[in-house]
Structure 1
Amino acid sequence: MKYYKILKIGFDMNCYCGNDKTYTDCCEVFHLNQGKTKTAEQLMRSRYSAFVLANGDYLMQTHHRSTRPISEKKDIVKWTKSVQWIKLEIIETSKGIEKDNKGTVTFIAYFFENGKADVIHEKSAFVKENNKWYYLGYAKK
């Protein structure tokens, strides 16, 4: 399934995450290096691409151990395969650059589910430990 979806995007199309680079030059790099991103936004974008590709292993690897829903992995993968992903829009980032240890990314992920358009609008919290960014969950207000 992953192979089919990668071929579907094509070599000259933009990455799933919305960057101008191809998937091969963008999020695939992070998928292959187990999420070693430089910024929280890069991790957010690579996680979105992992949702598009139903890459549950990557989603678990990049989810902080304190909030990681390991028992829900199969359900998450099943759901990601059941929807048609449209696009990711980054609304705002706060901190989360190379020198930081914490950051937030506010985004909207657009998708079709059961023939209807829907969105996930979230302000996500990220933390960097041992020089690696992790998704924590919803950011507290």
Structure 2
Amino acid sequence: MPSPTSHPVDRHLLRARDLADRSYAEPLEVADLARAAGLSPAYFSDRFAAAFGITPHAYLLTRRLERAAALLRHTDHSVARICAEVGLSSVGSFTVSFRRVFGRTPTAYRAAFPPAHDHALVPGCVVRSYGRPQNRSFREDPAPAAS
């Protein structure tokens, strides 16, 4: 049983947060999250901030920046492409926000990690497929012609 001072997070707020987690790359706005929760945008923003300690806009931006950081570490996509892939439209705003959260620009952040090709994982089935000999015959001599 929850204590009288703790407030369980309402299910409708969790639906909105899950939408932000799942669809961060889409053009979501606070109004979309509020609609998912079935609340007005202003009331939703107040309830969300009270429940999670962060505004819905800041939460969505944080999810996008976290995903951008992962893409910077694990791909060789351009900063502009990553900006678009995480649902942001302005590279300048993306760079400013990224620097505020991670303490460096996206380019400097990427430079602090090994290049993506150094840790690209190749599935075993691909390795086996391309590692097979091209000549699938075990014979070294050609088979004699049938008489």
User: TM-score if structure 2 supplies the norm length?
Assistant: 0.26
* Higher Cα Rg, which structure: 2
Query: Greater helix share, 1 or 2?
Result: 2
State the structure with bigger RCO (CA 8 A, min sep 6), 1 or 2: 1
